[in-house]
Chains A and B, each alone.
Chain A
Amino acid sequence: MDFLIGWIAIIPNYATPLVLASLGLIICERAGILNLGAEGLMAVGAMSAAIAVLFGNDPWAALAVGATAAMALAFLFGVATVVLRADQTLSGLAVVAIGLGLTGVVGRPYVQKTFVGIPNLGDIFALERDTTLGRIVAVQDPITLALPVTVGLLWWWLMRSRSGLRLRAVGENPAAADVAGVDVQIVQLGAVLASGLLCGLAGAYLSVATSHVWVEGMVASRGWVAVALVIFARWNPARALVGALVFGSADALVPRLQAVGADIPVYLMMTLPYLLTLLVLVIGSISGRRSGEPAFLGRIYLRQDKH
């Protein structure tokens, strides 16, 4: 029982950065722009936010700094892919390289400097940690708490609002959207910036909310997991939350099994989240669901293609 409580309590901490990044990618890809750059955007977010705190800023302001810095890199990606119609797959990889490289160069003096980050609920409200509920709630932070609401709002906006519909139309059929008076490029650029914002926030969460320290490479492939989760979620924000929770719970389980001395092949166990994701994709396909992939994802729209 104790084991279960501890495990459940920590899962949101694993899932939150994955959810934030996937949400950003979903918005971007729903507008038809394939974004593989999450790892680089998150790296920039993590480093910038950490530097902001180290320069004496409030951790909450630091989150905004991280998000803004990642948006700047996303803007470069947007200029390349939306304005200049460069190849999206490769531009995404270039963003990863630039993000990882830049953080290595700029962040060098700030490695391993511990700082005070975002407090968890237990600290804010001086919660009792003796009860089951107390133990679960105390280790959460305000960001994880706000996450379900964020996901709900984003889902509503994307699937139910007029502007969300417009964004999806751009990703499904830009020619039709164009005819209907939507400025395709402005929408796509906005979507790319949104992905920068949310991926930056995800990265900032890693440094400012979870580990309270920055080191080079600390995103450690979580951006790639987010890329995979988007496909897993069939480009739906609500399912991204579920996917991240599944992935996070599998990930959180491995060290906890070690801590009780379970006799398991650890590295093979660590493949489970990946295999599980693949399995769910296959099951989804067998049960006849469409992949949900935006029809125009990764393709290049020109007004001349309208007719």
Chain B
Amino acid sequence: MTASTNKHRTRKCLVAITAALLASAATGANAFTLEGPPKVAFIYASSAQDGGWNEALEAGRKAVEEQLQVPVAVTENIPEEATKLRAAIDLYVKRGFNIIVGTTYGYSAPMAEAAKAYPNVAFLSASGTNNGPNMESFYARTYQGWYLAGVAAGQATKTKKIGILAGFPVGVVNWDINSFALGARSVDPTIETVAVFTNSWWDPVKEGQVAQAILDQKADVLATNLSATSALDAAEKAGVPSIGFQLDMSHAAPKTIQTSVVFRWEKYLVPTIKEIIDGSWKPEEFGAFEGLDKGVVDLAPFGPGVTEETKAKIETARQAIIAGTIDPFQGPLKKQDGTVVVEAGGKLDDAALWSMDYFVEGITGTMPAKQ
């Protein structure tokens, strides 16, 4: 096993992906047509009422049910295993369900196989990585929201040190952390961001303990990229401003919370499912990937400690991002170790965002495993 065989494999793999994408783009020229009356099914990997990621999608599901007046079924706790997910999809399709929404990246590959087997069923894959003539992956440009959160944190910090805890070092998490740090540095380029992975999506005990580890580094703003509220609880106790994620977490830190970066999935799900029903849906070639402009990612109402000046700065940044005059990942952009990622004048493309496996300059933290 050498690095070169690995690189070779990677290149081959990329070629294969590109070929597949081209093929799908060719066949995807026609709009997708649904057979039979629309019946929607959401499949979750854990409980839909998890207070975080799933619950944000669940809010979107409820909006679909209310606004489109279609039957929407829910299944929870289907593990990210091909056998179990496929069985659930088969059951739904057999009973006439023809719009399937899967809610984790771990579903994406088995969903893509099911999409081939059922060309008349529409598949939507949250944080998925596969697309096709009847399948679209969707995610939000959460990094745009995190940039705004970074501005808030940069305004609030006095020690010039802020902290963020996150789950695992995957692309969609890494860009949140990096963008948060860049947002803060847009206020003051000397700000240092401490980033720690808990290496679990789901461990409030550890999240509280990791929060303490970050506070011990003299960080005076604490953000969580996870679903549990225990980190915010720790911040509230320490009297440190905090930032939540996925849902409005102000209930956990009513005094100190600044805002939460939240999903508004209904802004994607309602129009998309409406298109599917109307017969005008054409899946995006590289998946749907909307941001602040469509409101799929947004900030929750500000907490009591946020100044008018900060609010104004955030609003300015928001408008600039929507207008395209600022991109969080515009050049010059350097990695933690100083190597240049983007020269001045350029910016990262979407493929580079998804594959992000590094911290940017200004972050103190450890990538858990090296490529």
Contacts and interface: CB of A to CB of B under 8 A. Distances in A.
B51 interface: yes
A252 interface: yes
Interface string B209-250: 110111011000000000111101100010000000000000
A8 to B, nearest CB: 11
A258 B365 contact: yes
Contacts of A266: 197, 199, 366, 368-369
Given A213-B233, A261-B364, A264-B366, A112 B209 contact: no
Given A255-B196, A262-B366, A114 B252 contact: yes
A256 B49 CA distance: 31
A265 interface: yes
Contacts, number: 128
A43 to B, nearest CB: 13
Given A111-B49, A258-B196, A266-B197, A218 B203 contact: yes
B114 to A, nearest CB: 27
A218 B205 contact: yes
B216 A215 contact: no
A220 B206 contact: yes
Contacts of A10: 209, 212-213, 216
A251 B210 CA distance: 11
The range of chain A's interface size is: 35 or more
B131 to A, nearest CB: 31
The range of chain B's interface size is: 35 or more
A211 B211 CA distance: 11
A256 B214 CA distance: 8
Nearest to B363: A261
A255 B51 contact: no
A260 B213 CA distance: 10
B208 A215 contact: no
A216 interface: yes
Interface of A: 2-3, 5-6, 9-10, 13-14, 104, 108-109, 111-112, 114, 120, 123, 139, 206, 210-218, 220, 222, 252, 255-267, 270
27 contacts: A5-B216, A6-B217, A9-B216, A10-B213, A10-B216, A13-B209, A13-B212, A14-B209, A112-B229, A114-B252, A139-B212, A210-B230, A211-B230, A212-B230, A213-B233, A215-B51, A215-B204, A220-B200, A255-B196, A256-B213, A258-B197, A259-B163, A259-B214, A260-B364, A261-B366, A267-B368, A267-B369
